[in-house]
Amino acid sequence: RILRFLHHFVRELPEPAMMERGVGELGVGTYGELATTTYDMPLIDALALFLRHRVSALPVVDADRRVLDVYAKFDVINLAAEKTYSNLDVTIFEALQHRTGKQDKVHTCLATDSLRHVLETIVRAEVHRLVIVDTENRIEGILSLSDMFNHMVLKPVENDV
Amino acid sequence: RILRFLHHFVRELPEPAMMERGVGELGVGTYGELATTTYDMPLIDALALFLRHRVSALPVVDADRRVLDVYAKFDVINLAAEKTYSNLDVTIFEALQHRTGKQDKVHTCLATDSLRHVLETIVRAEVHRLVIVDTENRIEGILSLSDMFNHMVLKPVENDV
Ligand SMILES: Nc1ncnc2c1ncn2[C@@H]1O[C@H](COP(=O)(O)O)[C@@H](O)[C@H]1O
Ligand SMILES: Nc1ncnc2c1ncn2[C@@H]1O[C@H](COP(=O)(O)O)[C@@H](O)[C@H]1O
């Protein structure tokens, strides 16, 4: 049954109009209720946020909600591997100094960016998520690979059921 | 309250004995009931598996359950970006030919590998998951970043509640 809906979906997908619409307008991503952290938050409070909200990453914002970085579960695991994990009183800023591997800038997009543009950014950057910001770099939402997948594969199926 | 348990956990964590135990013995990861695909599976059937099992990746195995590759949600999104998505009758083998970006070999570990070893492999390879194999490269399980995070952060908390 799922297969039948997927087949139906296939005929719908290469609809160029949808690909050119803004992700905000399409409702792809999470807007409004966001779990975020700050540079001066103790790591232990950030871990509590991961546990409470069951998210895979926390955008790091300043007092004006401007996006500075992203602190992800991967960074927690990374810190554990660095054996500096035992001190959970370190701040997120300090914890981020231990980050090894690619020191990417934070990848963002605008809610008005087209689904096509966002898709290409995620693939090119090889990241799990983009932070959605306004033109002043203030946080508006999060758009993860799973949101994209759900919109492109799962949602067309569910709409049909 | 969560914070109290986290603080408790902190005193427990740098327990070197746990880090040296095998991930299979510790039960970190998913064993037994796995969603897998094959090179000759049509993409549409693989999408149905993603929907049915709500997993983020499918190991690609041969007739002897030997691990050949991993087909992830990221690859589906990647394929959509390549605009070759409209044909869902392609096989997983063909779909994998369109993969851009790092063409990594599949990252695996043994169930007897220590938690420390697995942790370091995930961090070094910057991957979301490892496929757990036996010494003949036959699939035994999957160990994802979220399994690792749950074992190191969530589980100690829950045990305490
Ligand atoms: N920090 C966050 N705050 C609120 N929602 C989030 C956050 N991170 C991810 N999400 C949402 O949670 C869902 C799962 O995300 P992920 O685990 O990152 O794939 C998606 O719908 C995301 O948009
Ligand atoms: N193909 C799969 N088959 C069975 N379990 C899986 C598979 N991929 C991931 N898992 C498990 O599903 C949970 C979420 O994984 P992930 O979404 O990859 O972080 C973890 O407990 C994984 O061990």
Which is the closest atom of ligand 1 to the Cα of A150?
A: 21
Handedness of CA A116, A121, A127, A133 (dihedral sign): negative
Interface of A with B in 112-131 (CB under 8 A): 119-120, 122-123, 126, 128
Rounded to two decimals, the pTM is: 0.84
B36-82 confidence digits (pLDDT tens) = 999 999 998 998 899 889 899 999 999 999 999 999 998 888 887 77
Find out whether B118 and B109 touch, Cβ atoms under 8 Å: yes
Average pLDDT over residues B18-27: 91
Judged by its nearest atom, the ligand closest to the C-alpha of residue B139 is 2
Q: Nearest by CB to B81, which of A81, A120, A157? A: A120
CB atoms A10 and B88 under 8 Å: yes
Ligand 2 contacts CB of residue B139 (under 6 A): no
Query: Which chain A residues are within 8 Å of B73, Cβ to Cβ?
Result: 145-146, 149
> How far, in Å, from the CA of B56 to the mean position of ligand 2?
6
DSSP state of B91: B
Four-residue CA torsion sign, B34, B67, B98, B146: positive
Over residues B117-145, the pLDDT tens digits come to: 999 899 888 889 999 999 999 999 999 99
Which ligand minimizes its atom distance to the CA of B53?
Answer: 2
Higher pLDDT, B16 or A134: A134
Residue B161 has pLDDT above 70, yes or no: no
Identify the pLDDT of residue A11: 46
Ligand number with the minimum distance to the CA of A151: 1
Characterise A60 by phi-psi region: left (phi > 0), alpha (psi -120 to 50), beta (else): beta
Helical pair A115-125 and B73-81, crossing angle rounded to 10 deg: 120
B74 has a chain A CB within 8 A of its CB:
yes
Instruction: Give per-residue pLDDT as tens, B84-117.
Output: 555 677 899 998 887 765 556 899 999 999 998 9
* DSSP output for B40-77: TSBHHHHHHHHHHH--SEEEEE-TT-BEEEEEEHHHHH
Ligand 2 atom 4 nearest Cα: B34
Chain B nearest CA to A53, separation (Å): 12
- Cβ A48–B145 below 8 Å, yes or no? no
Q: Within 10 Å of residue A157's Cβ, how many Cβ atoms?
A: 20
| Local mean pLDDT, 10-residue blocks, chain A (161 residues) | 52 65 94 95 91 92 97 87 67 84 80 93 90 97 91 63 44
Cβ–Cβ pairs < 8 A, chains A and B = 113
What residue type is assigned to position A117 of the chain?
H
Distance of CA B65 from the midpoint of ligand 2 (Å): 17
ipTM of the complex: 0.81
Distance in Å, alpha carbon of B45 to nearest chain A alpha carbon: 7
Q: How far is CA B39 from CA A54, B31, B94, B107, in A?
A: 33, 22, 8, 18
How far is it, in rounded angstroms, from Cα A79 to Cα A99? 7
pLDDT at position B84, please? 52
Residue A38, CA distances (Å) to A32, A35, A142, B2, B74 in order = 17, 11, 16, 19, 29
**Most B-contacting residue of A82, A115, A145, A154 (CB-CB within 10 A), to test interface:** A145
List residues bridging with B72 in a β-sheet: B57
Looking at residue A24, its amino acid is G
Could you give the CA distance from residue B39 to residue A120 in angstroms, rounded to a whole number?
Answer: 26
Assess B71–A contact: CB distance below 8 Å, yes or no: no
Report the chain A residue with the minimal C-alpha distance to residue B145. A74
For A78, the closest of B14, B78, B123 (CB atoms) is B123
Query: Residue range B15-40: average pLDDT?
Result: 90
